[in-house]
Amino acid sequence: MVRRPVAWVLAIVLLAEAFFIAALNWFLGVVVDRQDMSLAGLDPSVMATSSKIGGVVFGLYFALCALVAVLVAIRDRAPAGFGRVLLVSVAVVHGLLGAFAWGIVGWTAFLFLMVVLGLVVLLLMTYDRTEGQEEAGSGGAAGHGGDPRAEAEPNAVADAAAVPGSGTAAPPEKGEEPPQDSVPAQVTRPVTTTL
């Protein structure tokens, strides 16, 4: 299957990106601090410190997303809960960064960011599609992950055949009351559905 290799590749790319973002912001913070640069009257030390903190925060964010991708690759299960939210958010971040990179850096950075975005989307969509097909095609009993209609239809036919007197009977004569059965003609079972 393609799911696990995609998860491993995505984890490696996100780890490399985490290291690159953290190192780049740290380097920019050091340059601002040593050159004693100021932008619109801001304190150079504040700019240098905020650049370093931003690099560490974004590096940890990408590393955490890489950890989610590693867990998906190891478990071979779709990410759920907070992990899924992280992967969706990193896809949005790469989409926004790609839009900015096209105008500022160039098409190569845009292409790289779109490849990472494609990997994240492929990871999320591959697990959704295969799990949906497995649940629909399992043919298990109703309420146990199978299609509830697959279990309900044969039982309705079997129940109707098992009830005595449920077949076609002669219509009652005039003045006679129709025969009363103690068992209803068709028994329907409630079908439990799982979401």
Q: Identify the band that residue 48 occupies on the pLDDT scale cut at 50, 70 and 90.
A: confident
Threshold 0.75, pTM exceeds: no
Q: Identify the band that residue 188 occupies on the pLDDT scale cut at 50, 70 and 90.
A: low
- Yes or no: say if 35 and 47 are a contact pair by the CB < 8 Å rule: no
Q: Which of 159, 164, 163, 140 is nearest to 150 (CA)?
A: 140
* pLDDT at res. 128: 58
DSSP 146: S
Average pLDDT over residues 39-45: 77
Percent of the chain with pLDDT over 90: 13
Comparing 77-86, 116-125, 127-136, 185-194, the range with the smallest average pLDDT is 127-136
* pLDDT at res. 142: 46
> Could you tell me which residues come within 8 angstroms of residue 72 by beta carbon, excluding any fewer than 6 positions away?
3, 7, 78, 79, 83, 123, 127
Measured CA to CA, the distance from residue 43 to residue 188 in angstroms comes to 77
Q: Quickly count: other Cβ atoms within 10 Å of residue 127's Cβ.
A: 20
∠116-119-103 over CA atoms, to 5°? Answer: 30
Mean per-residue pLDDT over the chain, rounded:
75
Over residues 62-112, the pLDDT tens digits come to 999 999 989 888 888 877 888 888 888 899 988 888 888 888 888 888 888
* pLDDT at res. 134: 52
pLDDT higher at 152 or 15? 15
